[in-house]
Structure 1
Amino acid sequence: MAGRQQDRAAPPGRPQRRPVVALYERMVEAIRAGTYPPGSTLPTEPRLAAELGVSRPALREALILLQEDGVINVRRGVGRTVSHHPPPRGFEFLKPLEVLLGEGRQVVTVPVARTREEPTDFSTQHLVLPAGGEVRFWESVIEVGGLPACLTQEWAADETLAELLPEAAEAFDGPAARTSSMLRLLLDAGRGLPLTGSSTIVATTLGRQRGAQLGRPAETPGVLVTQVIRLDRTPLLAAKHMLPPGAPALPVWQAR
């Protein structure tokens, strides 16, 4: 595996990246890639820390999180082993919709709108917006296997992004904006930062405009997912995701 990636020093007032979170993600990806296959015993702490290029205290914290989430097990006399059935990474984890919907499938993000607009009731409710300012608005259709599977509408405040996560603001104005959702670019830019999300899921109908964009009649039932992404307690992004019948399932893993 590659050595530890060094984070740039954060300017005063900006949240610090969390190395343990990034290390957790690296280990989960290594497990899914087969570097540490299900049922295998992990190397000892000193060897694993050397392989990953991290300190043992940081590694120990990441291992505790992996154990709590059921990714690894600890057995006396055996050590740490990778679970035979690691919990799937579904909607309970912050992942772009095109990634969640496209597991093993061909996915294309088709831009419908990339613009700025006056604040709406929705964006004003969920974002911190400057008085009289505009909000960045993206609309995209996510196609899975050549068929429309999700209509995504996303809003973000440029001033908040420029202050807390300028890497995302730069990405939003870059070439990747034509082929990615706002959420995907935000998560890539904020890797290692304490990003959290909250969502509500309701049953509804597509309506005339959304139905036309998804190629369905207006009265077609659908699932509307409302999502807000925060850095610490500050909202960075608000989104609505409309999924019509036949869209791939959003897996949610639960434990007691």
Structure 2
Amino acid sequence: MAVGGQQRRPVVALYERIADAIHDGTYPPGSTLPSEPRLAGELGVSRPALREALLLLQEDGLLSVRRGVGRTVNAHPPRRGFEQLQALDGLLGPVRVRALLRSREEPTDFTAQHLLAPAGCELRFWESLLVGADLAVALSHEWAAPEDVLGRLHPAFAEALAAEPAAAMLTVLMESSRGVQLSAHSGVSATLLGRRRGEQLERPADTPAVLITQVVRVEGTPVMAAKHMLPTGAPALPVIQNG
């Protein structure tokens, strides 16, 4: 989970208080959290806000729910690092973003699932190559939610996208989100580049790669989704491992 902007909702601040307590050992791995009423009293917060924060902590892998026991701290909770929302070009070091395609397209299976995009709508689609000193290091596919969704939830993002800057879509989103609460979830899996992506990245089709998927939300509604392909030989991604 990550936060954008300077103003934070109470639930986000509460999430961070509990996450900090987990990481500093106040709630050690394997321990059971106090009941909701007791924890709400200890923290001086409302139970609805606490419940929402606990659900987010569960989604982010810090907590598990055990029947008959309650919420327990996972044995190896993720440490702070990758949960902080950052654009890939910033994480990979000094790279430049080369725009390959800026277009609109109908929903794919991926965007229909992750952006909840209805059939027949149009989504902004950006394809970008991230280039290091002498070679391409990543290929990014990024989609924005339908215009009506952005107009309702994040008009500043919609306006910034219309200018089509030479930047990653996530960078545009974060720079236009002052005072807007962002949350995100990412997934990481292993794959092979394949022919087309191999040609774009100037690697053989059977080159192993890491596929990162991202979904960024405003008030629980997806506003952006992305796929990032990092082939063998790309700069190390600074992801803090479970300890």
Mark yes or no: TM-score above 0.5.
yes
CA contact (8 A) 1:207 1:219 kept: yes
> Cα–Cα, structure 1 residues 68 and 250, in superposed 2: closer, same or farther, change >3 Å?
farther
1:154 and 1:218 map into 2 onto residues whose CA distance is: 22
Instruction: Give me the whole-angstrom Cα distance separating, in 2, the residues matched to 1:163 and 1:115.
Output: 22
Number of positions where the alignment pairs a residue of Structure 1 with one of Structure 2: 183
The whole-number CA distance in structure 1 between the counterparts of 2:22 and 2:98 is 35
Within 1, Cα distance between the matches of 2:138 and 2:81?
16
CA distance in 2, matches of 1:200, 1:241: 10
| In structure 1, distance between residues paired with 2:239 and 2:22 | 14
1:64 Cα offset (Å)? 6.4
Asked whether 1:205 is paired with 2:154, we answer no
- SS of 1:19's equivalent in the other structure is coil
What is the distance in 2 between the residues matched to 1:210 and 1:122? 17
Q: Is residue 2:172 matched to residue 1:182? A: no
Shift of 1:134: 1.0
Q: 1:148 to 1:90 in 2, by over 3 A?
A: farther
The residue type paired with residue 108 of structure 1 is: R
Deviations 1:122-147 (A, max 9, x none): 11011132442111111000112232
Give the whole-Å Cα distance in 1 for the aligned partners of 2:134 and 2:238.
Answer: 21
Instruction: Give the Cα separation in 2 of the matches to 1:69 and 1:214.
Output: 41
Q: Is the 8 A contact 1:228 1:239 kept in 2?
A: yes
Match of 1:144 among 111, 119, 132: 132
Q: Which residue number in structure 2 is paired with residue 30 of structure 1?
A: none
Task: Give 2:157's match in structure 1, choosing from 168, 180, 200.
Answer: 168
**Matched-pair contact (CA < 8 Å) for 1:110–1:178:** no
Q: CA deviation at 1:89?
A: 7.5
Contact 1:113 1:138 in 2 (8 A): yes
Q: For residue 113 of structure 1, what is the amino acid of its counterpart?
A: L
Same amino acid, percent of matched pairs: 48
Give the C-alpha shift of residue 212 in structure 1.
Answer: 0.4
Q: Which runs of no fewer than 5 residues in structure 1 stay unpaired?
A: 1-16, 22-57, 72-87
CA contact (8 A) 1:115 1:136 kept: yes
Q: Which amino acid aligns with 1:91?
A: F
Residues 107 and 119 in structure 2, CA contact (< 8 A), matched pair in contact too = no
Name the structure 1 match of 2:214. 227
Specify which structure has the bigger relative contact order, considering alpha-carbon pairs within 8 angstroms and separated by 6 or more residues. 2
CA distance in structure 2 between the aligned counterparts of 1:193 and 1:68, rounded to whole angstroms? 25
2:112 touches 2:118 (CA, 8 Å); kept in 1? Answer: no
Q: What CA distance in whole angstroms lies between the structure 2 residues aligned with 1:192 and 1:144?
A: 32
CA deviation after TM superposition for structure 1 residue 150, in Å: 0.6
| Corresponding residue of 2:45 | none
Distance 2:242 2:231 in 1: 28
- TM-score, scaled relative to structure 1: 0.63
Specify the code of the residue in structure 1 equivalent to 2:161: F
Q: How far is the alpha carbon of 1:199 from its aligned partner?
A: 1.2
Q: In structure 1, what is the Cα distance between the partners aligned to 2:114 and 2:133?
A: 32
Aligned residue identity for 1:191? R
The corresponding residue for 1:113 is 101
Shift of residue 222, structure 1, vs aligned partner: 0.5
1:135 aligns with 2:123: yes
Q: Pick the aligned partner of 1:101 from 92, 102, 107.
A: 92
Q: Does 1:92 align with 2:83?
A: yes
